[in-house]
């Protein structure tokens, strides 16, 4: 079958690779749609810290935002999975360590991350082998485009839940990329008053077109009490800005990763009695994201700029992005050219 392979820093190729086989406890999935995100770009560029720690290595097959249909079952897998549209958890724990047994498999020391670490081939391919224990069924109301947005949606929902805000309270989202906009959507669905901070004036148009009138830049940000802040940016100075702006006694949630180390003054954290929360992975947020997409309270599909083929995504990764206003590019492996 054909699959996207990162063969080295800056090198992305579509290659013929062996088709997957459903081993014990696994299924084979015909992949319908895959999203490409900043993590994939870090992997392609060789910037990901996982290369330095040795848990990731080239060649690497990426793709962790996906959906598809189960077409083959391995031994020990419930037959009801066959023919179902599914997505799955990116974080695959060992299942036996202290963290896994406590329900924290997403931070298991020995985990694999689909298409990212541990050598587990990702979904940017015609087919995917995947452990059935980490599958999530998608209802008929969720199409492939929304299905491949469940993983980023789960991350965003975890951010909103971690804020512990109530309806009517004011949230500031720092960043207007995919995660920042999904955070805004999930927060709005809970009745939270949402404001966004865009990196540039050019970046205010899309959030406003999605029904968020309160989009600001650093120069125009009003002086308001912020009951919760989510840093979904990659700016090195933004984590400190979030701590500066947050109301005392409230919460800042960090999910964005800067390209260089960020500094936060913990004296300010203590003296303002602020709770800082880090979010890694969508695991606990996946069921809620699926429910919100299914009932229509959140619709992520307006964030998709274009859907291209496997060959087309090579061009996108090389900087030749197709026209479209959304931050997300999807891949349909069945497309030609």
- Do 207 and 253 reside in the same domain of the chain? yes
HSE-up of residue 40 (Cα within 13 Å, Cβ side): 27
Q: Is residue 285 part of a domain?
A: no
- Do 235 and 305 reside in the same domain of the chain? no
- Do 14 and 54 reside in the same domain of the chain? yes
- Do 195 and 313 reside in the same domain of the chain? no
List 69's β-bridge partners, or say none. Answer: 30, 85
- Do 233 and 259 reside in the same domain of the chain? yes
| 3-class SS string, the chain | CEEEEEEECCEEEEEECCCCCCCCCEEEEEEEEEEECHHHHHHHHCCCHHHHHCCCCCCECCCCEEEEEEEEECCCCCHHHCCCEEEECCEECCCCCHHHHCCCHHHCCCCEECCCECCCCCCCECEEEEEHHHEEECCCCCCHHHHCCHHHHHHHHHHHHHHCCCCCCEEEEECCCHHHHHHHHHHHHCCCEEEEECCCHHHHHHHHHCCCCCEECCCCCCCCCEEEEEECCCCCCHHHHHHHHEEEEEEEEECCCCCCCCCCCHHHHHHCCCEEEECCCCHHHHHHHHHHHHHCCCCHHHHEEEEECHHHHHHHHCCCCCCCCCCEEEECCCCCC
pLDDT one digit per residue (tens) for the chain, 337 residues: 999 999 999 999 999 999 999 999 999 999 999 999 999 999 999 988 899 999 999 999 999 999 999 999 999 999 999 999 999 999 999 999 999 999 999 999 999 999 999 999 999 999 999 999 999 999 999 999 999 999 999 999 999 999 999 999 999 999 999 999 999 999 999 999 999 999 999 999 999 999 999 999 999 999 999 999 999 999 999 999 999 999 999 999 999 998 889 999 999 999 999 999 999 999 999 999 999 999 999 999 999 999 999 999 999 998 888 888 899 999 999 998 7
Q: Is residue 337 part of a domain?
A: no
Domain extent at residue 170: 153-278
Q: Is residue 121 part of a domain?
A: yes
Q: Is residue 239 part of a domain?
A: yes
- Do 130 and 167 reside in the same domain of the chain? no
pTM of the model: 0.97
Q: Is residue 263 part of a domain?
A: yes
Burial 114-125 (b: 16+ CB within 10 A, else e): bbbbeebbbbbb
What CATH number is associated with residue 131? 3.90.180.10
- Do 114 and 175 reside in the same domain of the chain? no
- Do 245 and 174 reside in the same domain of the chain? yes
Number of domains into which the chain is organized: 2
């Amino acid at each position: 079958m054909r699959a996207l392979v990162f063969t080295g820093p800056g090198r992305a190729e579509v290659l013929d690779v062996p088709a997957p086989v459903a081993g014990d406890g696994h299924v084979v999935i015909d992949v319908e749609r895959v999203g490409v995100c900043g993590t994939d770009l870090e992997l392609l560029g060789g910037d990901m810290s996982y290369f330095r720690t040795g848990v990731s290595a080239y060649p690497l097959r990426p793709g962790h935002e996906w959906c598809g249909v189960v077409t083959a079952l391995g031994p020990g897998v419930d037959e009801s999975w066959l023919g179902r549209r599914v997505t799955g958890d990116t974080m695959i724990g060992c299942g036996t360590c202290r963290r896994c047994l406590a329900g924290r498999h997403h931070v298991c020391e020995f985990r694999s991350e689909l298409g990212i670490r541990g050598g587990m081939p990702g979904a940017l391919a015609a087919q995917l082998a995947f452990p059935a224990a980490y599958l999530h069924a998608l209802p008929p109301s969720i199409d492939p485009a929304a299905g491949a947005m469940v993983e980023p949606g789960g991350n965003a929902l975890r951010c909103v839940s971690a804020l512990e805000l109530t309806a009517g309270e004011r949230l500031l989202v720092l960043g207007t990329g995919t995660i920042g906009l999904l955070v805004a959507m999930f927060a709005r669905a809970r009745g939270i008053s949402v404001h966004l901070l865009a990196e540039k004036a050019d970046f205010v148009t899309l959030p406003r077109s999605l029904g968020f009138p309160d989009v600001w830049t650093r120069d125009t940000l009003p002086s308001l009490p912020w009951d919760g802040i989510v840093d979904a940016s990659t700016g090195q100075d933004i984590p400190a800005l979030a701590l500066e702006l947050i109301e005392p006694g409230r919460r800042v949630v960090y999910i964005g990763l800067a390209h260089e180390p960020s500094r936060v003054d913990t004296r300010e954290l203590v003296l303002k009695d602020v709770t800082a929360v880090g979010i890694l992975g969508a695991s606990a947020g996946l069921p809620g994201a699926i429910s919100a997409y299914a009932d229509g309270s959140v619709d992520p599909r307006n964030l998709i700029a274009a859907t291209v083929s496997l060959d087309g995504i090579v061009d996108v990764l090389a900087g030749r992005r197709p026209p479209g206003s959304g931050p997300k590019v999807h891949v349909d492996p069945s497309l030609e050219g």
